[in-house]
Amino acid sequence: ATVAMPAVVRAQPQTKWRLTSSFPKSLDTIYGGAEVLANSVREATDGQFDIQVFAAGEIVPGLQALDAVSNNTVEMCHTCSYYYVGKDPTFAIATSIPFGLNARQQNSWLLEGGGNQILDEFFATFNVKGLVAGNTGAQMGGWFRKEVKSPEDFKGLKMRIAGFAGRVMAKLGAVPQQIAGGDIYPALERGTIDAAEWVGPYDDEKLGFYRVAPYYYYPGWWEGGPSIHAFVNKAKWEELPKHYQAALRAGAALANETMLAKYDALNPGALKKLYGLGTKVLPYSAEILEASFKAAEEVYTEVCAENANFKKVYDQWKPFRSQEAFWFQYPDGTFDRFQAYLQQKKMI
Contacts of its own copies in 80-139 (CB under 8 A): 99, 102-105, 107-113, 137-139
* Backbone phi and psi for residue 159, each to the nearest 5 degrees, phi listed first: -125, 130
267 binds its own copies (CB under 8 A): yes
3-state secondary structure of 100: coil
**Which helix (DSSP H) or strand (DSSP E) does residue 232 occupy?**
strand 227-233
CA 69, 75, 79, 81 torsion-angle sign: positive
Let me know if 4 is exposed, middle or buried by CB neighbors in 10 A (0-12, 13-18, 19+): exposed
Query: Under rule CB under 8 A, which residues in 151-190 are in contact with its own copies?
Result: none
5 binds its own copies (CB under 8 A): yes
Number of residues that bind its own copies (CB under 8 A): 108
**Which helix (DSSP H) or strand (DSSP E) does residue 145 occupy?**
none
Q: Which residue, 161, 149, 152, 285, is CA-closest to 219?
A: 285
340 binds its own copies (CB under 8 A): yes
Following CA atoms 251, 253, 259, 265 in sequence, which dihedral angle do they give, to the nearest 10 degrees? -120
Query: Under rule CB under 8 A, which residues in 30-59 are in contact with its own copies?
Result: 40, 43-48
The contact mask relative to its own copies for 277-306 (x = CB under 8 A, - = no) is ----x-xx----x---x-------------
Q: How far is the CB of 200 from its own copies (least distance, A)?
A: 7
The contact mask relative to its own copies for 306-325 (x = CB under 8 A, - = no) is ------------x--xxxxx
Using CB under 8 A, which of 26, 72, 178, 301 touches its own copies?
72
Residues whose CB falls within 8 Å of the CB of residue 289, separated by 6 or more in sequence, listed in order: 221
* Closest CB to its own copies among residues 63, 266: 266
3-state secondary structure of 149: coil
Using CB under 8 A, which of 79, 251, 313, 314 touches its own copies?
251
Query: Under rule CB under 8 A, which residues in 220-249 are in contact with its own copies?
Result: 220-221, 224, 236, 241-243, 245-247, 249
Cβ atoms within 10 Å, residue 262: 19
Q: How far is the CB of 261 from its own copies (least distance, A)?
A: 4
Q: How far is the CB of 190 from its own copies (least distance, A)?
A: 28
What's the rounded Cα separation, in Å, for the pair 225 and 265?
16
Q: How far is the CB of 62 from its own copies (least distance, A)?
A: 18
* Closest CB to its own copies among residues 72, 125: 72
* Closest CB to its own copies among residues 22, 258: 258
